[in-house]
A and B are shown apart, each in its own frame.
Chain A
Amino acid sequence: DAMVIQNPRYQVTQFGKPVTLSCSQTLNHNVMYWYQQKSSQAPKLLFHYYDKDFNNEADTPDNFQSRRPNTSFCFLDIRSPGLGDAAMYLCATSRGRGTGRPYNEQFFGPGTRLTVL
């Protein structure tokens, strides 16, 4: 089945130790998103890639970076995690405009729960 995969499902890191979260998709979608979701809150968009074009949300801290080496993979790098970065990180994908199909239905992965000690 086509899907969005996130690894690992659970990640524990130490305060200030860089960490990378991984997302892959078999849907061949143009757009990939990273969301941060803290407990009892709505998902908050950090940034997205439209093909190779990177789009950062205005309020995303510089501590968060992303890479998309190819269509299938996208990585979230947290350079110096703080206690406040503990959260669920959700990856999502959607088709691009002009594909002839609804472009903004997002398909989500299962998430990576990050704990910062």
Chain B
Amino acid sequence: AQKVTQAQTEISVVEKEDVTLDCVYETRDTTYYLFWYKQPPSGELVFLIRRNSFDEQNEISGRYSWNFQKSTSSFNFTITASQVVDSAVYFCALGGGTSYGKLTFGQGTILTVHP
């Protein structure tokens, strides 16, 4: 069975602080994909990144960066110099090993960035 655990239920920071959202996953699949989605108050899930199990390179996109550590089954997400617009619920998700894209979501981390 697949499982995703996001350790932080809620995080509160002040604007311009860096913040890291943790994600730990469990799977028996040898090929799998990891995702981060952002859900702002409007409700839509916005895709941020996909990483496959063969690619452990870290990735940076603007103020966002992701650290994939296969040895510890973790896929952490860092926002540098946070902004109020980053306030949202962030979901880590795991997929793979099936003929379609079924995702297993973590419980989500509520990030609040105060001005």
Interface residues on A, range: 20 to 34
- Does A70 interact with chain B (Cβ within 8 Å)? no
Q: Is the CB of A48 within 8 A of B44?
A: no
Q: Is the CB of A104 within 8 A of B33?
A: yes
Partner of A104, one of B37, B95, B108: B95
Tally chain B residues at the interface, Cβ within 8 Å.
Answer: 23
Q: Is the CB of A45 within 8 A of B43?
A: no
Q: What A residues does B102 contact at CB under 8 A?
A: 45, 48, 104
Most chain A beta-carbon contacts within 10 A, residue among B42, B43, B106: B43
Q: How many contacts A-B (CB < 8 Å)?
A: 64
Closest Cβ neighbor of A98 among chain B residues = B99
Bound state CA distance, A94 and B35, in angstroms? 14
Most chain B beta-carbon contacts within 10 A, residue among A43, A48, A111: A43
Q: Is the CB of B47 within 8 A of A96?
A: no
Query: Which residues of A come within 8 Å of B, CB atoms?
Result: 31, 33, 40-43, 45, 48, 50, 55, 88, 90, 92, 94, 96-97, 102-111, 113
